[in-house]
Amino acid sequence: MTLQLFDEFAASFSGGNDPDLREFMARAGDEAAVLAQLVDSFLSGAEPPAPAPERVELMRAWVRGEPPLLELRKRRRLRRQELVKRLTELLGLTPDREPRVAFHYHRLESGLLEPRSVDRRVWDALRQALGADVQAIAAWRPAPIEAAPAYRAGGPVEVYSQLRPESSAAAPEDAEVDRLFLSGP
Amino acid sequence: MPNAADLDDSQLLAVGDIGALLARYEPVIIGRCIARLNGSLDAEDVAQDVKLRLLGEFRRGKRYGDLPYRVIVHQVIGWTIGDHFAGRPTDVSLPEGWEPAPSGDHADEIVGRGWVEWVVRRVSGKDGQIIALRYRDLLEPGEIAERLDMEPGAVYQAIHRGLRKLGELSRA
């Protein structure tokens, strides 16, 4: 079983499909450690497949000190208000709760929210809204800002500290919404 | 031995596109951290620290001569995971003057040669050939069977024999 799982993982990785190793380890059960060892060996010497162009752009944005989630939203040509509205709908919340969702989403996009505290339903909704593994991207902690960026596409640099802060006064506390963003999976 | 991918990496490094380099190696970094930390939720944090260290080394102007960039990546992964298990902070830069150094175990050979070549040297004969067709050429077992005029079942058994031996070698 373990060898079959390794075979499946290795073939998927080499094919550029970004397999979820934790899922494979869960399927391996008691043999998870053995599978992990085989995968570690494999990854030590495997040639990584070429990354998707979007992934490269997100990483370049991160290197420039820009929030990768913001870059992803910009690439989708979505205003924050539109995304928040969609997120609110996908979470099954009423429109009057949008301000609180907006407050938390702003913090998430700015790298001010611990990704581990965010409920799985939020990640699933964002994946649907943005068509990407947002959870993985949100885990990229801010890179230190360099005075002379090594690589830029042009345009003003939006650094984390320069983002306009969302006022919590306009978004009164809401226990249900707060739980989605602050309580963990 | 440098390969075509190593040359691509060298060019990216030369033009300063560290973002493209990190994007290329990110799945490997995260995968190895998850594997070595046995699935712990800390793995992504450690992986992020690996990326930050690689970025830091790049910004310090560190280049490593003819050493392929993938060797640097795997050394920083090993160093950072070592810091994690030893309880040392990983969200700090590598020590001033840090230089890659061989670890002395089979991991160096895997990184240096590539996993498939490392396997083929250890899994002899047809089994090694089958492993190469499966994981280098990405052929399905049915395709391998057709190419080598074998029964598909025999191909599966060869793959399993080879991987079983690898499992023993990895634990050694």
* Residue A89, amino acid: E
pLDDT in tens, B1-39: 667 888 889 899 989 999 999 999 999 999 999 999 999
Q: Which of A139-153, B48-62, B68-82 has the lowest mean pLDDT?
A: A139-153
| Cβ-contact A98, A84 below 8 angstroms | yes
Is the predicted pLDDT of residue A147 greater than 70, yes or no?
Answer: no
Say which residue, B103 or B69, is predicted with more confidence.
B69
Beta-carbon contacts of residue A17 (< 8 Å; ≥ 6 apart): none
pLDDT in tens, A95-115: 999 999 999 999 999 888 888
| Cβ-contact B70, B12 below 8 angstroms | no
Q: In which band, very low, low, confident or very high, does the pLDDT at A151 lie, cut at 50, 70 and 90?
A: very low
Q: Do A3 and B28 touch (CB under 8 A)?
A: no
Alpha-carbon distances of B68 from A8, A103, A151, B55, B164, rounded to whole Å: 28, 45, 21, 16, 30
Q: In which band, very low, low, confident or very high, does the pLDDT at A154 lie, cut at 50, 70 and 90?
A: very low
Rounded Cα gap, residues B80 and B143, in angstroms: 40
Q: Do A38 and B118 touch (CB under 8 A)?
A: no
Interface residue B135 vs chain A (CB under 8 A):
yes
Count of Cβ atoms closer than 10 Å to residue B1 Cβ: 8
Residue A33 zone, left/alpha/beta (φ > 0; ψ -120 to 50; rest): alpha
Which tokens is B49 given? Answer: 């620290």
Residue B104 zone, left/alpha/beta (φ > 0; ψ -120 to 50; rest): left
Q: Do B59 and A51 touch (CB under 8 A)?
A: no
Is the predicted pLDDT of residue A161 greater than 50, yes or no?
Answer: no
Residue B114 zone, left/alpha/beta (φ > 0; ψ -120 to 50; rest): left
Among A38, A47, A140, select the one facing B114 at the smallest CB separation. Answer: A47
Give the chain A residue whose CA is nearest to the CA of B115. Answer: A45
Distance from CA of A131 to the nearest CA of B (A): 18
Interface residue B17 vs chain A (CB under 8 A):
yes
pTM: 0.81
Which tokens is A4 given? Answer: 């079959």
Nearest to B8 by CA among A174, A11, A111, A47: A47
pLDDT in tens, B110-156: 777 777 777 777 787 888 899 889 888 889 999 999 999 999 999 98
The per-residue pLDDT for B3 is 76
Interface residue B115 vs chain A (CB under 8 A):
yes
What ipTM, to 2 d.p.? Answer: 0.84
Interface residue B84 vs chain A (CB under 8 A):
no
Q: Do B23 and A56 touch (CB under 8 A)?
A: yes
